[in-house]
Homo-oligomer: A and B are copies of this chain.
Amino acid sequence: MSHTIGIRQAQKLKTRQALLDAALELLEHQSLSSLGLREVTRAAGVTPTAFYRHFDGTAALGVALVEETLGSLHGMIGAILADTGDSEERLDRSVGLIARHVTAQPAHFRFIAREQHGGVGQVRAAIAAQLRGFAEEVAHVLGSEPESAGWDRDDLLMLGGLYVDHMVLTASALLDAGPEGEREVVRVARRRLRLVTLGRTHWLDRP
């Protein structure tokens, strides 16, 4: 078997990517449920009919965008959290890393923030599934730390979800704030995270 793909399939992937890119750009100023199929093909430089060779409709395209945005982020969770250093430092670094990711590819994160509660059910479900995956990853990493001794799985998942939701919220806030407000958003996000982490360390204190 050969790992090289034919030049035909390569071309197909290229137009598929052109469609995804065009859609993502258009979605910066509107939401998926108002995105027109023709609008996308026009921006991508293809005929409307060509669209159907790749996706059933705009909803399927949305699901593909979710995959593209969040699919590549798995495993990175570990890299963020498993780093050495004291918890305060590590926490600040996490927020900084998120901020850098968001400013590096704003359109992708804007899309996720927008469609997380958006009008297209399939896409909402896809995002929810991915985020649940992240929450589980975070919970897993947290669970293997000494600070989590005595925590049950349920509580770890709750905390993981809290961190993930906070991450998404921060990303969205960064996008709304623009470059000038970025520092302030990061500052507040760090304080919030610190408070949550503080609650974590005292979770088992209760009578």
| Residues of A near any B CB (own CB < 8 A) | 27, 29-31, 33-34, 113-114, 116-119, 124, 128, 155, 158-159, 161-162, 165, 169, 172, 176, 188, 191-192, 195-203, 205-206
* CA–CA, A185 and B135, complex, Å: 15
- Which B residues lie within 8 Å of A200 (CB)? 195, 199
* CA–CA, A166 and B174, complex, Å: 18
Q: A175: nearest residue on chain B (CB-CB)? A: B117
- Asked if residues A192 and B162 are in contact (CB atoms below 8 Å), the reply is yes
* CA–CA, A197 and B203, complex, Å: 10
- Asked if residues A116 and B119 are in contact (CB atoms below 8 Å), the reply is no
If A118-B118, A191-B155, A196-B199 touch, whether A128 touches B176 (CB-CB below 8 Å) is yes
Contact residue among B33, B158, B197, B201 (Cβ-Cβ distance under 8 Å from A33): B33
* CA–CA, A191 and B162, complex, Å: 10
Contact residue among B34, B124, B203 (Cβ-Cβ distance under 8 Å from A34): B34
* CA–CA, A154 and B128, complex, Å: 33
Q: A195: nearest residue on chain B (CB-CB)? A: B199
- Which B residues lie within 8 Å of A192 (CB)? 158, 161-162
- Asked if residues B158 and A169 are in contact (CB atoms below 8 Å), the reply is no
> Measured between C-beta atoms, what is the minimum distance from A32 to chain B in Å?
8
Contact residue among B158, B165, B176, B196 (Cβ-Cβ distance under 8 Å from A191): B158
> Measured between C-beta atoms, what is the minimum distance from A125 to chain B in Å?
9
- Asked if residues A31 and B119 are in contact (CB atoms below 8 Å), the reply is yes
